[in-house]
Structure 1
């Protein structure tokens, strides 16, 4: 290796370590103050701020691809093994949940394209109510403007965190005794799963599927989980590491962002979330007319995120937590299929427009 090339590699290594250090510090800080999705959003925001302040940042291609693989692994591993069985329960509210997600994505995406003039990729990825790490992972592959998407999604999480559980502050909430989690996957199992996910991801990339590495890894991990190949969760340390790395990758895309872009995206996030809450409320009211379940319980089940606050309210108000949890599991399962479907449609639409 020539001297200039060696110097460039060393500089890139230093910049990468600096990026990861900023991400770690941001994640730790956000987690300590109780920021929603702290490890992910703290690292993304801290690296984003550093990028805006012109810090030298970089995420090399090899690390980017590794992050993509483990994003897919984490999503697949988080799917409950009995997710498909839950589809047969509470058919009216589950049908309302599916319809609600379609309406939210269509209305919010249309609103962001027409009112805020965002491109289709940015608008529709910003409109998904949940699966934040998956949305940001796909955004990092080049679909939409990742910088605007992360701002809008941050506003959604923050707004929901305030709007949904605010009543829990005034109720005597006692944390339930949760069953002990099973032993996590071993290092050998993780490496084998990651290898299989990477191979499927490479096949997806070869087939020119949008966000192929992420989607291929997710598909492999999800099919293996639902097929009974494994049932253990990922180790907490690995999940935290994946969140931090994803945040660093997303934050590095904030290089060159203007304050005008930030203001437009932040306002879009607040308005988009308000629209989501209106849709959820209307849907919950409609379902309550058809089933003998309290509207508030239905509303919590159909809530587009903020699961921690939803759970606290459900416990405090004596609602059926199994009903609520099942709907949130199904919401994430539906989004796991809806997000790549929309991403594929957007990529083909963009290709068609370029062809003309």
Structure 2
């Protein structure tokens, strides 16, 4: 049976979107930009969406990318990392305060200066955990385009500006080599199978963050228990990053250039607010712990877990430290956001 006209149109849109995302990511990768595969895919897909070209990412491919990303994040949860994390209580305490104050400051700006709704301001202010935040925002009354745009602008500015700022101030460390790939094909396949099963189950029971959080937990538990030491190869991670970038870009279908200009200004100012607050706490933590301020600035940066961890490693900082702090923030946000949202929105409705 031949595909219908609608299916053909959807297939063309999907192929165009993924091809454009891959091309944009590859172009950014060639010129050495940070988070190249995500930001390049995002910008080219965004350009197509703003040009009113039909773009979309098939749901099965989106789910598969979340499984890969969640499983990859979970590989950082090793017994060695947990042992090291026990020696970082002071910086993690300051990180917790930083997350709270960053969200409070950003919400204050979004609500009272930009005029965004309570739900939109709340989810747009969350410093990281992008997939979980977007998933929860989609089930609320939040303006999903504004949430995604604010989160994306903050991430893009962080990965674009932070390395240059640290380099200009002499805070970046010497670069280090990438870790070797671990695990044979069977080990990687079993790890992905576990991540897929847990991710689909988490999505089915509507766990906040759904697929990506479920896959992360399954992978993390296997690594913590010493049942797996495998890591995912770039051949899987790069397409997942591209799909993540495309998936954000397609959310701007039907958005006018006027709206984009308006949201960009608001989002850039919100980024300055969030980055300034997190930087203050990072500097205080560095003074208290006598640790590298550049490392703490990167660990406290309010961006996506995988991008910020990879960026910290590229800057030469301890990947265990980066993973622990960003995982700590990610896990905390994933658990706390739905609870705080329920309480906050209940209070808002009662007024």
User: Which residue of 47, 53, 64 maps to 1:49?
Assistant: 47
Q: Provide closer, same or farther for how the CA distance between residues 246 and 286 of structure 1 changes in structure 2, counting only shifts above 3 A.
A: closer
State the TM-score, normalizing by the size of structure 2.
Answer: 0.80
Tell me, yes or no, if structure 1 residue 112 matches structure 2 residue 110: yes
In the alignment, what sits opposite 2:332? 338
Native 8 Å contact 2:27 2:40 kept in 1: yes
Q: For the residues of structure 2 that align with 1:229 and 1:67, how far apart are their CA atoms?
A: 23
Alignment of structure 1 residues 56-205 onto 2, 5 Å: 56-79=54-77, 81-120=79-118, 122-130=120-128, 134=131, 138=135, 144-160=142-158, 161-162=160-161, 165-166=164-165, 168-169=167-168, 175-176=174-175, 178=177, 181-205=179-203
In the alignment, what sits opposite 1:240? 238
Q: For the residues of structure 1 that align with 2:123 and 2:109, how far apart are their CA atoms?
A: 13
Native 8 Å contact 2:203 2:210 kept in 1: yes
Q: For the residues of structure 1 that align with 2:125 and 2:57, how far apart are their CA atoms?
A: 27
In the alignment, what sits opposite 1:14? 12
Q: For the residues of structure 1 that align with 2:38 and 2:335, how far apart are their CA atoms?
A: 24
Q: Provide closer, same or farther for how the CA distance between residues 291 and 339 of structure 1 changes in structure 2, counting only shifts above 3 A.
A: closer
Q: Provide closer, same or farther for how the CA distance between residues 31 and 146 of structure 1 changes in structure 2, counting only shifts above 3 A.
A: farther
Residues 283-324 of structure 1 show CA distances to partners (whole Å, capped at 9, x for unaligned) of 2454456445576665565444666776787x7xxxxx55xx
Native 8 Å contact 1:140 1:250 kept in 2: no
User: Which residue of 324, 329, 346 maps to 2:323?
Assistant: 329
Residues 195-230 of structure 1 show CA distances to partners (whole Å, capped at 9, x for unaligned) of 322222332233233442232222212222222222
Q: Provide closer, same or farther for how the CA distance between residues 256 and 142 of structure 1 changes in structure 2, counting only shifts above 3 A.
A: farther
Native 8 Å contact 1:20 1:248 kept in 2: yes
User: Gaps spanning 5+ residues in structure 1: where?
Assistant: 316-320
Native 8 Å contact 1:125 1:339 kept in 2: no
Native 8 Å contact 1:45 1:251 kept in 2: yes
Q: Which has the larger radius of gyration?
A: 1
Q: For the residues of structure 1 that align with 2:233 and 2:262, how far apart are their CA atoms?
A: 38
Q: For the residues of structure 1 that align with 2:203 and 2:313, how far apart are their CA atoms?
A: 38
Q: For the residues of structure 1 that align with 2:176 and 2:288, how far apart are their CA atoms?
A: 33
Q: For the residues of structure 2 that align with 1:183 and 1:308, how far apart are their CA atoms?
A: 15
Q: For the residues of structure 1 that align with 2:68 and 2:119, how far apart are their CA atoms?
A: 23
Alignment of structure 1 residues 343-354 onto 2, 5 Å: 343-345=337-339, 348=342
Q: For the residues of structure 1 that align with 2:143 and 2:188, how far apart are their CA atoms?
A: 32
In the alignment, what sits opposite 1:279? 277
Native 8 Å contact 1:182 1:233 kept in 2: no
In the alignment, what sits opposite 2:267? 269
State the TM-score, normalizing by the size of structure 1.
Answer: 0.79
Q: Provide closer, same or farther for how the CA distance between residues 190 and 268 of structure 1 changes in structure 2, counting only shifts above 3 A.
A: farther
Q: CA deviation at 1:181?
A: 2.4
Native 8 Å contact 1:112 1:123 kept in 2: yes
User: Gaps spanning 5+ residues in structure 2: where?
Assistant: none
Q: For the residues of structure 2 that align with 1:258 and 1:167, how far apart are their CA atoms?
A: 35
CA RMSD of aligned residues (A): 3.7
For the residue of structure 2 that corresponds to 1:117, the secondary structure is coil
